[in-house]
A and B are shown apart, each in its own frame.
Chain A
């Protein structure tokens, strides 16, 4: 075992991750919000110009997973997790993100520990009340002619219309890019529209889901992506792994102001008129560069 690996395995906070050689960010939400904020939609002159899909977003929260029947659940380690909470409406979404840029277009690895639940306002399992939880990168190449903005999306479709589907999906199309306002500087598009999700091949996965809506178990995700080719490499969730090389991300022409953008977004969707709660214990982003 090399020294770097030995040092990481000896660190209890890092030993449950398998980062690439360079850790870009390690966010343990016991330490605060760590740069995660709400995704606010674009607007010009008035907030009324924001698309409805973005207007519904609210600020993420630091949660100790407090339950009415059993008290505080706590996080994977420590007390706090980042909570992304939708409004109590079927189809409602919420998104939290961290905004970075990259310095080396090479392989990057996103790892995180997560769980999800609906608001526990009924005395039943409620296992189909959360529609999905997911994540995406919002990326743009370094400044170049013919550059691209690339947005790989991945979600775990837990349920749809009350059916417990439990499968991973990806997306390779977004809605039309529309101008906002009158200054010709701002545009918008709704990449989290419910349309155009596609099943990942063999992407069904039975995640541990405990017996009542106030018990949670934490899950692990690892997602490898190459910033040079702007294509996904692989996805892992707990004991399952998928080759993602054949999965196309959303690709569009580069925007004039987003060069080298590296945004990490996490989102939740409700399938009933009940708040969906997506919890992140910790997130590690690493890359393979000197």
Chain B
């Protein structure tokens, strides 16, 4: 069988500020993932001072840090990415942006069996 590979756009044109989180994404069928976090603009303050964090979950509701961090892309067109394995069944990305900081983002998962 040919390996499945899927691109999932999880957050599109969302303004992230404060404690931001992507919607939970169930993808236990995949053995590897690349998380792409792209800045679409509308940058206010200094979101680049924050790190985005990958989180995993046993049930899609309770989350723990997976350990991977991404520099938050703070300029329109900038992309941060991270390669993941052994993430179980659920993935999301969170960020604690500094007070007054926000940016519009596109969060994409490249998932492969």
CB-based contact A85/B23 at 8 Å: yes
**Shortest distance in angstroms between B1's beta carbon and chain A's nearest beta carbon?**
9
**Neighbour of A61 across the interface among B13, B27, B61, CB < 8 A:** B27
The digit string for A231-260, where 1 denotes a CB below 8 A from any CB of B, is 000000000000000000000000000000
Distance between Cα atoms of A161 and B6 in the complex (Å): 37
CB-based contact B12/A68 at 8 Å: no
CB-based contact B10/A67 at 8 Å: no
Among B52-75, those with CB < 8 Å from A are 58-62
Query: B106's closest neighbor in chain A, by CB?
Result: A47
In the complex, the number of residue pairs spanning A and B with C-beta atoms less than 8 Å apart equals: 54
B contact residues vs A (CB 8 Å cutoff) = 4, 6, 8-13, 23-29, 40, 58-62, 89-90
CB-based contact A87/B23 at 8 Å: yes
Contacting residues, chain B, for A85 (C-beta < 8 A) = 23-24
Contacting residues, chain A, for B11 (C-beta < 8 A) = 58
Distance between Cα atoms of A235 and B25 in the complex (Å): 32
Among A25-70, those with CB < 8 Å from B are 32-33, 38, 40, 47-48, 50, 55, 58-59, 61-64, 66-68
**Shortest distance in angstroms between B23's beta carbon and chain A's nearest beta carbon?**
6
**Neighbour of B26 across the interface among A32, A48, A62, CB < 8 A:** A62
CB-based contact A47/B13 at 8 Å: yes
Contacting residues, chain B, for A68 (C-beta < 8 A) = 58-59, 61-62
Interface size on A, residues (CB 8 A): 25
Distance between Cα atoms of A85 and B58 in the complex (Å): 17
Q: Does A210 contact B (CB under 8 A)?
A: no
20 A-B pairs with CB atoms under 8 Å apart are A32-B4, A32-B6, A38-B9, A47-B12, A47-B13, A50-B13, A58-B11, A58-B23, A61-B25, A61-B27, A62-B27, A64-B26, A64-B28, A64-B89, A66-B28, A66-B59, A68-B58, A68-B59, A68-B61, A119-B61
Query: B58's closest neighbor in chain A, by CB?
Result: A68
Distance between Cα atoms of A62 and B27 in the complex (Å): 6
Contacting residues, chain B, for A38 (C-beta < 8 A) = 9
Distance between Cα atoms of A32 and B112 in the complex (Å): 11
Q: Does A121 contact B (CB under 8 A)?
A: yes
Distance between Cα atoms of A58 and B29 in the complex (Å): 18
Distance between Cα atoms of A277 and B23 in the complex (Å): 13
CB-based contact A58/B59 at 8 Å: no
Q: Does A167 contact B (CB under 8 A)?
A: no
Distance between Cα atoms of A83 and B60 in the complex (Å): 13
CB-based contact A66/B26 at 8 Å: yes
Q: Does A278 contact B (CB under 8 A)?
A: no
Contacting residues, chain B, for A113 (C-beta < 8 A) = none
Distance between Cα atoms of A62 and B11 in the complex (Å): 17
Query: B11's closest neighbor in chain A, by CB?
Result: A58
